[in-house]
Structure 1
Amino acid sequence: MKITSFGEVLWDDFPTGKKLGGAPLNVVTRLQSLGVDTSIISRIGDDEDGRTILKEVEQRKVPHTFIQTDPEQATSLVTVTLSDKGSASYEIVYPCAWDRIEATQEACERVAESDAFVFGSLATRDEVSRAALEKLLEHARFKIFDVNLRPPHYDYERIRHFLNKADVVKLNDCELYELAEAFGSPYHSLEQNIGFLVDNFDCRNLCITMGEHGAIFYDDGTFYYHGGYRVKVADTVGSGDNFLAGFIYKLMNNAPADETLSFACALGAMVASHHGANPEISLQDIQDFMYPA
């Protein structure tokens, strides 16, 4: 299996210090730890923060062949604030290096040979990276859109455009309700609003995360539900990204939909019980968590 992601690599700046982050990087970092051939197309600055990112990415065994270096823009640094319950909010500087990603020939070739191409909404905020993404999508076999609505770094027409390009869309329940309302949905329930998006966009598969309450997967006409796993939350940073990694891992291995959802919920919960987005978790750890002796 080959999975390639596109978008931001950055430092999450917590009150306790900096941690490597960025949703596209978090997803492929977890997939790499599960034995998947991964790569990420991104951009860093020609600075110490950027050089340290390359070292850390290398330590995690994620290839950085397609992480470009920008001569002008700085490596992204995001200020993270945690609530009393561990929920995170983000202050994201614009512009930064990953706003200037280029679609090189080598990157296009990597996307073309990948089983799935994962991209998010945040890295579409600038026209340079957005144009690169458009070119890369032309080469993608299977497209997974990770919606991350980070005010003020999105607009609804851009979201609409990329919803229509995706084979699978992942978003959380708050994002679902926001988009459904923005696009004119008259409905109130999750299921009705999922149906509204499906009916109005060229996408037959939506996965909706609901935090501690689990997730819903709409798979071409059928709803699958998982109630989530109860854990003591350390922080929620990267939990959704790891959920998506688990979801992709099972989906691309042709697992049944309910198994895919259960595995993804378990991985998201396990990460929420640790600090940071990339704690060490093995396949065996996930199995032991899901099926305790």
Structure 2
Amino acid sequence: MSRVICAGHVNWDVTLRVDALPDPDGEATVESRVGAGGGSAANVASGLVGLGVSSSLLGSVGDDEHGHAAVAELASKGVDCRYVVNVEHGPTTVKYVVVDAAGEVFVLGSPGVNEVFEAADLPEEPLAAADHLHLTSQAPATAAALARRADAVGTTVSFDPGRRIGDRGYTDALPAVDYVFLNDREAAAALGEASANDSDAATNGSAVATALERTTLVLKHGPKGAEVRDGDERHVHPGYPIDAVDTTGAGDAFASGFIAARLDGASYERALAVANACGALTAAEPGARTQLSWDRLDDLTDGENT
């Protein structure tokens, strides 16, 4: 059985590297175009396997070329894909990822079947046998059902809800979650700090903030590092200076590192160091998935204390 089950999006990414983002009615030069597997849950599962943590994936793809390629790529890396649902009538979700010269990322998504899977597609036995369940963007009802099932059998849960945490209705899932990963924009939305001019967003932010009160927050500050907020305790790591090439998937790599370190018994400080190193390595290379390994992380962290 896998130590970690990752549930959420499995996509096909088409990455367009451009010299600059054009102004309205302007034009940019596409310097390269690459297709590869993506999706937050798939990225985390792949990263965990690179760090020696056996991982299974729960998600859904279309019965098409992109879906077959995405699953084959993950399986070749050692990810257990037996719980990936193959949807006969519907396309695999494709994301067009535009990366500018500074490494900033902009995403254009096409509709697809990456949220067709349900909690019932994961049998009880592997969930009970797992050490950890990691949730990413998915249908709120599915997230809530999986979180409650994991909590009931004593499997710890983390959740990286993504940019729509303030308006997707994840409040039912959050009380059963142990760790929530948020970047600065997501934290502002979740905690109601950036909604002064939007009463609906402020209401949603307040509800999410209340649901987050009993969870441990893992806040990603990009080049400024990261922190853990566990009740009244704060644990901070400054991160690692890198020249960003492509920040696609850096947050997913961060989650892989944090989960792997905590499963290994690491302190919050050590887990943040590992997570920041994973994010930095990924941001310094093109594409959503970088080959993570403990040897590469040790070179960057330079033997920081556990």
Whichever residue aligns with residue 258 of structure 1, its letter is: E
1:243-254 equivalences under 5 Å are 243-254=254-265
1:156 to 1:98, Cα distance in 2 relative to 1, 3 A? same
Deviation sequence 1:171-209 (CA, Å, 0-9, x none) = 001111122227989xxxxxxxxxx97765342310000
Whichever residue aligns with residue 40 of structure 1, its letter is: L
Q: Give the corresponding residue for 2:163.
A: 149
Number of aligned positions between the proteins: 272
Say whether residues 1:138 and 2:154 are aligned partners. no
For 1:112 and 1:174, locate their aligned partners in 2 and report how far apart those are by CA, in whole Å: 34
Whichever residue aligns with residue 51 of structure 2, its letter is: L
Q: Give the corresponding residue for 2:57.
A: 40
Deviation sequence 1:47-81 (CA, Å, 0-9, x none) = 11111112111111111101111011111101111
1:70 to 1:182, Cα distance in 2 relative to 1, 3 A? farther
| Structure 2 residue corresponding to 1:123, chosen from 123, 127, 138 | 138
CA contact (8 A) 1:237 1:277 kept: yes
Q: Compute the RMSD of aligned alpha carbons.
A: 2.3
Say whether residues 1:113 and 2:136 are aligned partners. no
1:199-278 equivalences under 5 Å are 201-278=212-289
User: Comparing 273-282 with 160-169, which one deviates more in the overlay?
Assistant: 160-169
1:54 to 1:199, Cα distance in 2 relative to 1, 3 A? closer
Deviation sequence 1:220-266 (CA, Å, 0-9, x none) = 32101111100111100010100011000111222111111111111
1:171 to 1:163, Cα distance in 2 relative to 1, 3 A? same
| Structure 2 residue corresponding to 1:75, chosen from 72, 87, 92 | 92
For 1:10 and 1:87, locate their aligned partners in 2 and report how far apart those are by CA, in whole Å: 20
1:44 to 1:249, Cα distance in 2 relative to 1, 3 A? same
- CA deviation after TM superposition for structure 1 residue 89, in Å: 1.6
Q: Give the corresponding residue for 1:193.
A: none
Q: Give the corresponding residue for 1:6.
A: 7
Percentage of matched positions with identical amino acids: 25
SS in 2 for 1:285: helix
For 2:61 and 2:241, locate their aligned partners in 1 and report how far apart those are by CA, in whole Å: 37
Whichever residue aligns with residue 227 of structure 1, its letter is: P
- CA deviation after TM superposition for structure 1 residue 132, in Å: 3.6
Whichever residue aligns with residue 143 of structure 1, its letter is: V
Q: Give the corresponding residue for 2:102.
A: 85
Q: Give the corresponding residue for 2:24.
A: none
CA contact (8 A) 1:44 1:69 kept: yes
Q: Give the corresponding residue for 2:184.
A: 173
1:273 to 1:76, Cα distance in 2 relative to 1, 3 A? same
- CA deviation after TM superposition for structure 1 residue 105, in Å: 5.9
SS in 1 for 2:176: coil
CA contact (8 A) 2:192 2:209 kept: no
